[in-house]
Structure 1
Amino acid sequence: MTTAMKRSDRRISPVFLGIVAVAAASGWAAWTGFADDWNTFTDNPGLAVFVFVTAAWIVSLCLHEYAHAVTALHGGDTTVGAKGYLTLNPFKYTHVLLSIVLPVAFVIMGGIGLPGGAVFIERGRIKGRWRHSLISAAGPLTNVLFAIACTAPFWLDALDGVPPMFRYALAFLALLQITAAILNFLPVPGLDGYGVIEPWLSPRIRRELAPFAPFGLLAVFGVLWLGPVNEAFFDWVYAILERLGVDDFDQYCGNNFYRFWKDANPVCLR
């Protein structure tokens, strides 16, 4: 049985366009320093960084889930259109709490790009192990591409004329994308990395690991709270950022300004 695709199934949601507009407006504010002079609301320049990074992070989450859905569509699951997954509307995803709310909350609290819950794919419609693996990999690969785009001015040595506040915001946003990509690619049940290898496992192993899928994300987050693990994880993230031309100072100041409710480090205000 096939599911007919309607034109409206692919129409980009006004909700998503609104989020993009917020990201663009706040990015412009960070670039021009507009928020610095908006004293009727705040005199903290970090406000623009906070809004820009948060909105851009939600955009990346939508693109992450869209990548899963569109890859599944080409793999044989035509039901993703009727479910609204191709509209980029965050409220259409299976787990809004896991896909949007929790990832944003963890960015605000800890500066970690927490992977969200994937869209619901009818795997029985997908034929071939490679297609199943590609569907799972499509989401975190989107985070990789997003990180490359954010760091392009750094590794292209094209920072001349880029205001420091906007540079800091890009650096911190890139950090979030890298953490999300690494965490998503972990071969832990419930995460995309496990989805990549699952089709290649024996039915017995898959049955034994299936009960752990709902707790995989919680287990990863719990392990990240351990000091040595957290330190090793971020050392890896910082090493990747450095290879992409982003130094510790830029991502630190981006993180510092993102928490605009705290006093900014005077070093970053130079």
Structure 2
Amino acid sequence: MTFAETQRSRSEERRISPVFWVLLAILGTSGWAVWSGYGNAGVGVFLFVVAGWVVSLCLHEYAHARTAMYGGDITIGAKGYLTLNPFKYTNAVFSFVLPMIFVILGGIGLPGGAVYIERHRIRGRLKHSLISAAGPLVNVLCAVLLLIPVGAGWLDDPAVHASYEGHDLNVSPLAAALGFLAFLQLSAALLNLLPVPGLDGYGIVEPWLSPKTRRAVEPFAPYGLMAVFVVLWQSEVNRWFFDLVYRAMDLFGVDGAYAALGRYLFSFWQH
């Protein structure tokens, strides 16, 4: 392979996928529709949140892949992980299908894992920890960017008012959509940072554990996420977890009611 061919191949490996551009187009168009009051607000919020959530999942996986590439895994590009194409990830069910089902049915951000990283190519425990941390940190960054305009009051005194059970509220439906999407980002980040096998939180601490401990924990990795949701199903734990998410939103001056209203508008088929 010539130098020019090598450069072209690398460029294609990092070219943003048309699928991701379509997702961004849906996100921008639905956001404009919600802000301007065009069409049904519930459908607009649904499309905005779904598109925004899938975009954030792509960015989450991209962060893992990009950090792994810098860490030493030179196979990342050839696998298509740098194109932001959701169809290139190795486990679309766990990274996209299940998270979407949980968002639609339960209104909770489910962390996923899809990029296959050749860990033997990466040297140094810190690099392994940073690769695992990169994904949840993207969710935290997305939450911050979503909460800032709401908390700063940039969407106050809206021209279009959200409607709740037939009553108009002095709240922009876009602010509610941003609040709900930020809520999903925070819940996904907090869940994913738990030091439970199978989640990124465990991936952060795993390199620092003894080989004996890692071998003992390894068989439980496929069941870690399931165990988390079984525990989260308990009312006291559930209440504690979501109180923590709302407190994180409060740090930006955003009341949890925005997320609740956003979820109400998102679930337009229920009312």
* TM-score above 0.5, yes or no: yes
In structure 1, give the amino acid aligned to 2:221. A
Q: Partner residue of 1:52?
A: 48
* 1:191–1:217 Cα contact (<8 Å) kept: yes
The equivalent of 2:125 in structure 1 is 129
Q: Percent identity?
A: 58
Letter in 1 for 2:237: V
> What is aligned with 1:139?
135
2:26 to 6, 22, 26: 22
| 2:112 aligned residue (95, 106, 116) | 116
Partner of 2:148: 152
**Distance across 1 between alignment mates of 2:90 and 2:270:** 35
What is the CA-CA distance between 1:248 and the residue it aligns to? 2.4
Q: Confirm whether residue 202 of structure 1 aligns to residue 210 of structure 2.
A: yes
Q: Equivalents in 2 of 1:202, 1:179: separation in Å? A: 30
Aligned residue among 214, 219, 238 for 2:227: 219
- CA apart distance, 1:161: 5.4
Structure 2 CA distance, aligned partners of 1:256 and 1:160? 19
Listed one character per residue, the Cα deviations across residues 125-152 of structure 1 (whole Å, up to 9, x for unaligned) are 1111110000000000000000000001
Amino acid at match of 1:87: T
CA RMSD in angstroms, aligned pairs only: 1.2
Residue number in structure 2 paired with 1:66: 62
Shift of 1:230: 0.8
Residue 168 of structure 1 pairs with residue 163 of structure 2: no
- Alignment check: 8 A CA contact 2:50 2:100 kept: yes
Deviations 1:157-189 (A, max 9, x none): 433355511000000000000000000000000
1:211 partner amino acid? P
Aligned 8 A contact 2:150 2:178 in 1: no
Secondary structure at 2:82's aligned position in 1? helix
| Match of residue 191 from structure 2 | 183
Name the stretch that deviates more: 83-92 or 215-224: 215-224
Residue ranges of structure 1 left out of the alignment (5+ in a row)? 37-44, 264-270
Confirm or deny: 8 A CA contact 1:68 1:118 kept in the other structure.
no
Pairing of 1:72-87 with structure 2 (within 5 A)? 72-87=68-83
Alpha-carbon spacing, 1:66–1:161, altered in 2? closer, same or farther (3 Å): farther
Aligned pair count?
252
Structure 1 segments of 4+ aligned residues over 4 angstroms from their partners:
none
Measure, in 2, the Cα distance between the counterparts of 1:144 and 1:248: 17
TM-score normalized with structure 2 length:
0.90
- 3-state secondary structure, aligned to 2:76: helix
